[in-house]
Amino acid sequence: MTRLTILKLCCIVILTIVINIPCASADETISSIISGRVMEKGTRRPLGGVNIFILPGERIEITDKNGKFSFDNIASGDYKLAAILLNYKKYGPERIRVKEGEGLDISIYLEKEFVTMMEIVVETKRLKREEISPRELRVEEAKKIAGAGGDILKAIQSLPGAAGGNEWSSELYVRGGGPLDNIFQMDKMFIGNPYHIGGLISTINSDLIKSFDFFAGGFGARYGDIMGGMGGVIDITTRDGRSDRLGGKFDIGFSLSSLQIEGPSGDNSSFFMSGRKSYIELFPIGGEGEDIIPSFYDYQGKWSYDLSEHNRLNLLLYGADDRIVFSTTKRNRKDPVLSSVSSSFDTSFHTQGFSIKSLITPRLVSELTISHAIQTEHFDITQDLFLDARFKEVRIWEELSYRYGRHYLLTGIRGGYGWWEINGRFTRPPKEGQPEYNFTESEKIISNIDEDSFAVGYYLDDSISVTQSLKFILGGRLDRFQPIKETLFSPRTSMFYNIGKRMRLKAAWGYYRQAPQGDEFSEKWGNPDIDSNLSIHYILGIDHDITDAVNLDLQTYYKDMKDLVVRSTDPEEVYCNCGVGYAYGTELLLRHKLTDRFFGWVSYSYSVSKRKDIPGFMWRNFTFDRPHIATIVANYQFTKKWNIGTKWQYAAGSHYTPVAERIYDADADRFIPIYGDVNSRRLPPSHRLDLRTEYKNIYNRWIFTTYLEIWNLYMHRNPVGISYNDDYSESSVERFIPIIIFGGITAEF
């Protein structure tokens, strides 16, 4: 071997070593793992089915339902990683470095290409019992309706058949019924006060509502608790707490703030807790020499637990507290007892309960609900005008549903036992049609009541699919209301007929009872011998799916009212079942359903409602009747961040009773109004345009939403009532604040 040959060989060896040094890691036998999780940006919802790519090597993995992925046997080095999922922005390629022997754990957040409201809808699909006059409103729609302030119960006023009383109130006046004629329930439990401060906003946090149903009339035998029924039904179902991770939301608004926390509490359970508190008390309202300071809070909590595959336990608690402090240095000539007073009003309710839902067989479902509620009220106007009341109730409700063949049976029994204590010296509450409520003139009743009683109701109805096109629902309920020793039977029936694939004819008839109010059947305050009110509903309707997204619904109704509880002409009797009434009307709803970017509707309702208080008296207008209401709602998702909604509503004015004559009381130095025909005049109509806009900023772990609402954009001064001067010689229309602007920031984590 020559020197040259040896030199060549050495060079070759050296070069081989040198060239192979960088490649030594690729051939390294110590491998690593790249793992991680893919979540949706902002909501941190785990995303399954995401394609994860690693280059070089072109390895692909797909995330599981929990968003997790894992690549084994990865050699150390630099790579590029990308994640792709339909409707989401592509992630990467991002550089990653794998160190020898060390694993790499990555969290990836994918941002949606576009936020579609439609997606949210899919999750809330559920099997529902058919009703004749449902006014469907999805939770996500309701929260975006302009003029509702994100309050679902207030959003119902945008639907035909549900009128609002005035500009500030969320109360509902449904087809000739008043605000106390409606049934409110949440998860089959009693809601003490659906509204804060007499109707300002609802006591239920809209973020915790999974779904709600509003029935304007003709509802099935399941509903019709003796404490309501002449009006409509608002049936709320809460959602469960999230089960994937701990999360929450807080909202800081102009007048109140809220905080909610939810998450898993074990393998088979989850919870949520929510609380809201006002701070409007920092800005007292009132004129010169007067202060009105309202304040409130509310809370809701739920714990859900899967006892087994077919049994679910829910524990619920919710409540609310309202307080108004009122003080004035003014002399009140119309109601002297309210001169120079400092008063307080406190009201609260607290409900706790549990429900067990069981899939006994694939066809048989049972739901048992037991709840306990306490409601307290304290009024303190003067030392001679005060009231302390406490009301407790325990309710049990068991419902069974069973499907067999063409039948869908629903049956249940519902009972409640209540205790009440009322102490005080107070006036009788005013009744519908009474023109003015005057503390000074009203009779004061001294109460020391401590009583208890019960009510029980049983119902059964059968939904029969006679043919593929024709369905009947036949049923009824039997109620026993012990305080007035009454047993009542209420038959109900409805019919649904499909005309082709897109049109449906529907009809309903039924008896709807409503027990007298507590003061009406009380021995101390009223007449223990009176009976329940009765309303017989007749409804006919047709709805037509013009396209997949557009639906037209037309309904007409007649309500025949009998045995209405009214003030008796006999002062010893106080109340009697002497009243009769009727209500009829037509409601038209043309609706574009919730799709990717848009939802909205145009509606018109016409109604007439009359009452006759005593046989032989003239028919008169019902106080809460507003014959013409037209509404236009539109909501559009402009970009994935920006949503804007608008609502315009026109409503005929409410009725009022004018002062026809006045008498000067020379001894008391004040004027006494003598009223004319009840509800013979009408306020001017009201109309307003509301706007709501939301802007969403989505970060990996947070979503910030800024919202702004403007009520009454063109500042039309809408009437809310009539006021008179102190001697009743002049009157003027009271008008609401011309414009309200409010907003806030919500942070979700």
Partner 1 sequence: MGNLIKITLIVTISLLLFSGCGMDEKDDEGFELIKDLTILAIKAEPPETIPGTEIALKGLIVDPEKREISSAWFISNDTDLTNNFDIEEATPIDKGEEISFTTPIQRGRYTIFLIANTSPPPLDYDEFLDGEHFITAKEIIISENDRPNRNPVIKDISADPIDILTGNNVTITADADDPDGDELTYAWRSTKPGLEKDHGNMVNWHAPEEPGDYLVYLVVRDKRGGTAWDMITLNVHINKNQSEKEKE
For partner 1, the binding residues in 89-128 under the rule CB under 8 A are none
Quick one: 152 or 227, whose CB is closer to partner 1? 227
Name which position in 729, 741, 742, 745 contacts partner 1 (CB under 8 A).
729
- Nearest Cα to Cα of residue 552 among 489, 514, 515, 502: 502
Q: How far is the CB of 319 from partner 1 (least distance, A)?
A: 14
Answer for which of 51, 211, 366, 517 binds partner 1 (CB under 8 A) is 517
Q: Which helix (H) or strand (E) holds 11?
A: helix 3-20
Determine if 462 is a binding residue for partner 1 (CB under 8 A): no
The size of the interface with partner 1 (CB under 8 A), counted in residues, is 75
With binding defined as CB under 8 A, does residue 384 bind partner 1? Answer: no
- Under the binding rule (CB under 8 A), the answer on residue 426 touching partner 1 is yes
Helices and strands, counts by H and E, the chain: 5, 42
CB under 8 A: which stretch of 49-57, 70-78, 594-602, 731-739 binds partner 1? 731-739
Rounded Cα distance, 163 and 168, in Å: 12
- Can you tell me which of 105, 523, 570, 727 binds partner 1, judged by CB under 8 A? 727
Q: Which of 76, 243, 358, 438 binds partner 1 (CB under 8 A)?
A: 438
Stretch that binds partner 1, among 51-59, 213-221, 359-367, 663-671 (CB under 8 A): 663-671
Query: 3-class DSSP state for residue 340?
Result: coil
**Which residue of 735, 739, 747, 749 would you call a contact of partner 1, by CB under 8 A?**
735
Binding flag, residue 344, partner 1 (CB under 8 A): no
Q: Does 87 bind partner 1 (CB under 8 A)?
A: no
Report how far residue 271's alpha carbon sits from residue 262's, in angstroms, rounded to the nearest whole number: 5
Among 389, 473, 583, 659, binds partner 1 (CB under 8 A): 389
Among 149, 160, 179, 541, indicate the residue that binds partner 1 (CB under 8 A): 179
Helices (H), 510-669: 518-521
Alpha helices in 149-244 (DSSP H): 152-155
Q: Does the footprint of partner 1 cover residue 430 (CB under 8 A)?
A: yes
Residue 286 near partner 1 by CB under 8 A: yes
* 274 contacts: CB under 8 Å, gap ≥ 6: 205, 207, 208, 258, 259, 260, 261, 299, 300, 301
We find the least distance from the C-beta atom of residue 392 to partner 1, in angstroms, to be 10
Asked whether the beta carbons of 692 and 155 are under 8 A apart, the reply is no
Q: Which of 71, 219, 496, 525 binds partner 1 (CB under 8 A)?
A: 525
- Which C-beta is closer to partner 1: that of 169 or that of 605? 169
Task: Return the number of the residue (197 or 561) whose C-beta is nearest partner 1.
Answer: 197
CA distance 44 to 23: 40
714 binds partner 1 (CB under 8 A): no
Instruction: Candidates 345, 408, 575, 648: give the one binding partner 1 (CB under 8 A).
Output: 345
Least Å distance, CB 285 to partner 1, is: 5
Answer for which of 164, 199, 319, 579 binds partner 1 (CB under 8 A) is: 199
Listed in sequence order, the residues at least 6 apart from 308 whose beta carbon sits closer than 8 Å to its beta carbon are none
- To partner 1, the closest distance from the beta carbon of 375 in angstroms equals 5
Q: Does 663 bind partner 1 (CB under 8 A)?
A: yes
Is residue 104 within 8 Å of 98, Cβ to Cβ? yes
CA 544 to CA 506: how far, in whole Å? 11
| In the complex, minimum distance from the CB of residue 471 to partner 1, in angstroms, rounded to a whole number | 36
The nearest distance, CB 333 to partner 1, in angstroms, is: 6
Please choose, from the candidates 454, 479, 385, the residue with its C-alpha nearest in 3D space to the C-alpha of residue 426: 385
The binder of partner 1 chosen from 632, 733, 740, 747 (CB under 8 A):
733
User: Which residue type sits at 132?
Assistant: I
Q: Residue 152: what residue type?
A: I
Q: What are phi and psi of 482, to 5 degrees?
A: -65, -35
SS3 call for 550:
strand
Q: What strand order describes the sheet that includes 68-74?
A: 68-74, 32-40, 104-110
The answer to whether residue 22 forms part of the interface with partner 1 (CB under 8 A) is: no
**b/e for 75-91, b at 16 or more Cβ within 10 A?**
bbbebebbbebeebeeb
Residues with Cβ within 8 Å of residue 300, at least 6 apart in sequence:
204, 205, 208, 238, 272, 273, 274, 316, 317, 318
Phi, then psi, of 97 in degrees rounded to 5: -125, 130
Phi then psi dihedrals of residue 180, to 5 deg: -90, 5
Largest pairwise CA distance in the chain = 144
CB of 298 to partner 1, least distance (A): 16
Quick check: 420 binds partner 1 (CB under 8 A)? yes
282 makes contact with partner 1 (CB under 8 A): no
Half-sphere CA count of 687, side-chain side, radius 13 A: 11
| Given 441, 462, 543, 573, the residue binding partner 1 (CB under 8 A) | 441
618 contributes a contact to partner 1 by CB under 8 A: no
Give 516 or 581: the residue with its C-beta nearer to partner 1: 516
Q: Which is nearer to partner 1, 549 or 663 (CB)?
A: 663
Give the footprint of partner 1 on residues 205-244 (CB under 8 A): 227
Task: Name the minimum Å distance from CB 241 to partner 1.
Answer: 29
Kindly state whether residue 425 participates in binding partner 1, applying the rule CB under 8 A.
no
Output 393 or 486, the one with its CB closest to partner 1: 393
Exactly one of 418, 433, 510, 744 binds partner 1 (CB under 8 A); which one? 418
Which one of residues 201, 387, 534, 698 is an interface residue with partner 1 (CB under 8 A)? 387
- Retrieve residue 385's tokens: 């005008």
Please tell me whether residue 290 binds partner 1 under the rule CB under 8 A: yes
CA separation for the pair 34, 107 (Å, rounded): 11
375 binds partner 1 (CB under 8 A): yes
- Residue window 323-342: x/- pattern of binding to partner 1, with contact defined by CB under 8 A: -x-x-x-xxxx-x--x----
Piece in contact with partner 1 (CB under 8 A), picked from 53-61, 64-72, 272-280, 730-738: 730-738
DSSP codes, 431-472: -TT-----TTTSPEEEEEEEEEEEEEEEEEEEEEESSSSEEE
**If 0-12 CB within 10 Å is exposed, 13-18 middle and 19+ buried, where does residue 560 land?**
middle
If the CB atoms of residues 636 and 675 are measured against partner 1, the closer one turns out to be 675
Q: Give yes or no for residue 456 binding partner 1 (CB under 8 A).
A: no
- Minimum distance between the CB of residue 520 and partner 1, rounded to whole angstroms? 8
Span interacting with partner 1, options 101-109, 386-394, 556-564, 700-708, rule CB under 8 A: 386-394
User: Residue 141 or residue 225: which is nearer to partner 1 going by CB?
Assistant: 225
DSSP secondary structure letter of residue 202: B
Beta bridge partners of 444: 427
> Which residues inside 673-712 make contact with partner 1, applying CB under 8 A?
674
